[in-house]
Amino acid sequence: MNEKKVNEKPAVSVGLNIAIIVGTIIFPIVGIAMGYAYYRRDHPDMKTAGKNWLILGIIIFLVNILLVYVMR
């Protein structure tokens, strides 16, 4: 009874997911902002995607800070 319908559109499309991941790698604030926005949604798929983007954005941001610190 908790099965998804066959014709149901995904909450987060594959294209959007890839675009946000690529955008996050280039500009970490994209992943942080989109992750926060989607994490606040009620849909579990949107919440999962938001959490992934948020974590990726924070990790990339910290890596950037580390690289700047090491290159000094």
- Over range 2-8, report the average pLDDT: 67
What is the distance, to the nearest Å, from the Cα of residue 4 to the centroid of all Cα atoms in its chain? Answer: 23
pLDDT of residue 5: 62
pLDDT of residue 2: 61
What integer best gives the mean pLDDT of the chain? 93
**Exposure class string for 17-38: b at 16+ Cβ within 10 A, else e:** eeebbebbeeebebbbbbbeeb
13-45 pLDDT, tens per residue? Answer: 999 999 999 999 999 999 999 999 999 999 999
